[in-house]
């Protein structure tokens, strides 16, 4: 009886494919981190689909990257709005039109209003070119070099109302070489950004990462204040960089 029942029930049954998790990316410039996300998506390593790219700058090269990948590219110039709040209100409408599961800031050079942050709290992530909480704000590479630090890097974090102050998800470190300059350090940090941002986005889209009142949690386990940390050696190995003996 049970064998017949199973046969009758499951015969020719094909499960419906689950809808891909949806991502909207906000940019202002070149879009190299956007390209890293598109590349990961191409290799089924993102956990979802970038469905739209929105830029506040009409000439942002990232819009070209989006169009070439067949992604909806939207220009929303901030200079056409009388206030930051008015712009963010329009931006919310554009984003929600695409019904995203996650909003990714990839070089979006605007300070977001509390209204915007609260609307997407827990679904809004950013990448910052420093090992947070060090060097919040701008000019991180120059400031790190001026301080003579031996280690620098980048961080992916949840966005909160505190500028660059949300819970850190993952970091990648880079050793500052003797004679390092701002351009060479920036290039190394960029490579690490492109390495860890798709990882963090995938964790979010797979439901492995949670934003909680106490910080970020991965697979139900609270992360330390610096999130998951990828060492210089591990990042260099992943990137096939030469490691000094």
d(CA 128, CA 130): 6
Q: Is the pLDDT of residue 17 over 90?
A: no
Q: Is the pLDDT of residue 12 over 60?
A: no
Cβ atoms 216, 210 nearer than 8 A: yes
Q: Is the pLDDT of residue 6 over 90?
A: no
Q: Give the neighbor-by-neighbor strand order of the sheet with 21-27.
A: 72-75, 48-55, 21-27, 102-105, 124-128, 151-158, 168-175, 228-230
171-192 pLDDT per residue, tens: 999 999 999 999 999 999 999 9
Cβ atoms 112, 159 nearer than 8 A: yes
Q: Is 98 a catalytic residue?
A: no
Tokens representing 105 are 């800031």
Cβ atoms 33, 193 nearer than 8 A: yes
d(CA 216, CA 203): 12
pTM flag (> 0.85): yes
d(CA 7, CA 236): 53
202: Cα separation from own chain's centroid: 10
**Which residue, 173, 178, 208, is CA-closest to 188?**
173
Q: Which entry of 61, 78, 98, 128 is annotated as an active-site residue?
A: 128
Residue 149 φ/ψ, nearest 5 degrees: -70, 155
d(CA 65, CA 60): 9
Q: How many CB atoms lie within 10 A of CB 161?
A: 14
98-151 pLDDT per residue, tens: 999 999 999 999 999 999 999 999 999 999 999 999 999 999 999 999 999 999
**Which residue, 166, 170, 165, 172, is CA-closest to 212?**
166
């Amino acid at each position: 009886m049970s064998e017949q029942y199973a046969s009758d029930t499951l015969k020719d049954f094909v499960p419906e494919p689950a809808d891909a998790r949806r991502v909207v990316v906000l940019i202002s410039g070149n879009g190299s981190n956007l390209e890293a996300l598109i590349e990961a998506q191409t290799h089924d390593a993102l956990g979802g689909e970038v469905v739209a790219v929105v830029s506040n700058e009409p000439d942002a090269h990232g819009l070209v990257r989006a169009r070439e990948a067949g992604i909806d590219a939207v220009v929303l110039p901030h200079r056409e709005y009388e206030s930051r709040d008015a712009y963010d209100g329009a931006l919310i409408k554009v984003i929600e039109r695409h019904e995203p599961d996650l909003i990714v800031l990839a070089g979006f050079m605007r300070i977001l209003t509390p209204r915007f942050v609260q609307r997407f709290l827990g679904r809004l992530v950013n990448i910052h070119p420093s090992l947070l909480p060090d060097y919040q704000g701008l000019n991180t590479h120059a400031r790190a070099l001026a301080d003579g630090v031996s280690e620098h890097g980048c961080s992916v974090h949840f966005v909160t109302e505190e500028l660059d102050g949300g819970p850190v998800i993952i970091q990648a470190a880079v050793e500052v070489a003797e004679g390092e300059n701002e351009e060479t350090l920036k290039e190394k940090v960029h490579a690490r950004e492109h390495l860890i941002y798709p990882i963090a986005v995938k964790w979010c889209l797979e439901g492995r990462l949670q934003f909680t009142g106490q910080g970020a949690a991965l697979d139900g386990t609270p992360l330390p204040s610096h999130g998951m940390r990828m060492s210089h050696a591990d990042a260099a190995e992943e990137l096939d960089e030469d490691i000094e003996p």
